Amino acid sequence: MAAVILSARRLTRHFGGVKAVDGVDLDLHHGEIHALIGPNGAGKTTLVGLLSGRIAMQAGTIILGGEDISRLPAHARVARGIAYTFQITSIYARLSVFDNVALAVQRHSGDLRAGTLAALARVGLDHLADQRAGTLAYGHQRLLEIAMGLALRPRLLILDEPTQGLADAEIATFKTLVRGLVPAATVLLIEHNMDVVMDLAQNITVLNSGQVLATGTPAQIRANPAVQAAYLGG
């Protein structure tokens, strides 16, 4: 098995009496697609908020590539290779498609135009570079957000509900895209579409009520009685 790129231990975040994340352990391996699933309210988005630094944790440790990043702010984690695309599109609607991605590319040295167009080409949007981002179809906005994440050259790319609102043809394109990201990057995929999860992921972690219910391969998760009862049904 590949080396661990991110190791989280005992991550905890409570909101009042709600234990959104309650002592979660998670290991992500270099070059894998790892899915995070669970029912609504299981704590998935809070967990990736803790990993990305957008939500402060109350306890636990996060090690990225051997470095303790537990107390680093979100922008410092981006600089160390964590990119997070949101459950709801977070593009700059009034800017062009090109300028949205260029904002991410400028974090790195090199040719701004070439780097921007290369990121857009990876998601199939280079022909729309001059269009205002807010006028894109929803599915294209989601792909633009992924291009913005790719432009950061992440070691770890977190995709939060990326296929939400996509048509079947767009989902097929998305799956091809994600497969092409590894092994150069590790992908953490938060997704409700179980066909997408089972097709893409090498490993799956199931959250339920803020805790890890199970971790394993797709076959192991499918066969797990506790997962079937809590989430998959049957």
Cα separation values, 42 from 78, 141, 173, 196, Å: 25, 27, 28, 19
The token pair at 14 is: 């409570």
Rounded Cα–Cα distance for residues 115 and 119 (Å): 6
Q: What distance in Å separates the CA atoms of residue 45 and residue 223, rounded to the nearest whole number?
A: 25
| Per-residue model confidence as pLDDT tens digits over 187-205 | 999 998 999 999 999 999 9
Domains of the chain: 33-54+72-232 (3.40.50.300)
Compute CA distances 151 → 102, 123, 223, whole Å: 8, 11, 38
pLDDT in tens, 56-85: 999 999 999 999 999 999 999 998 999 988
Return the pLDDT at 163.
87
Q: Are 158 and 51 in contact (CB under 8 A)?
A: yes
Which pTM does this prediction carry? 0.90
